[in-house]
Amino acid sequence: MTFPEPTHAIDAQPEDVLGALTILGEARGESDLGKCAIAHVVLNRMAKKSASVADTVLAPWQFSCWNRSDPNRLFLEETIHKTAANIPVGLWAACWKAWVEARDHKTPDPTHGATHYCVSILWRRDDSGKRRPAWHS
C-alpha cells in the first residue's frame, strides 16, 4: 500500500495513489462494492480513451471530487498534504484495495463496462416531474 506524496502536486501523484484518492473522494461512504464500482468506471474510461489515470480522473468535470469548486477536493488536498493521516487507515486501505484489485482484474466489473455513474439519491431529488430515462428504475 502506498500513501500520497505530500511534496508532489496532485497531477504528479503516483498513478495508483490517484486511483485510490479518486475512490476516496467519490465513494468513501460507500460499501466495498461501491468503491469497486468507482475503480472500474475509472478503468473503463481509461480503456475507452487510452488515457492515463491522471488524464482520466483529473480531466475537467469528469470526477466531481477533483473539481476546484467541490469541497471533496479540499479534503483530498488535505489527504495528500497529511499523507492520508487525516483519515482512518482502514478507509485508505479499503480504497487502495478496491483500486489495486480492479486494476489487476481480481474483481469482476460490477458496472458491466460503464464509463459513468450516478448515485440513486440524486434521482430522488428530482421533483420537477420530468420523465426519467428508461434505464432508471
Counting DSSP H helices and E strands in the chain, the numbers are: 6, 0
pLDDT in tens, 52-86: 999 999 999 999 999 999 999 999 999 999 999 99
- Average the pLDDT over 118-126 and give the result: 58
Q: Is the pLDDT of residue 124 over 60?
A: no
pLDDT in tens, 9-38: 999 999 999 999 999 999 999 999 999 999
Q: What is the pLDDT, as a whole number, of residue 118? A: 72
How far from chain centre, in Å, is Cα 122?
17
Could you tell me the pTM of the whole model? Answer: 0.87
Q: Cell 434521482 appears where?
A: 123
Calculate the alpha carbon distances from 64 to 23, 26, 38, 76, 117 in Å: 11, 8, 12, 12, 11
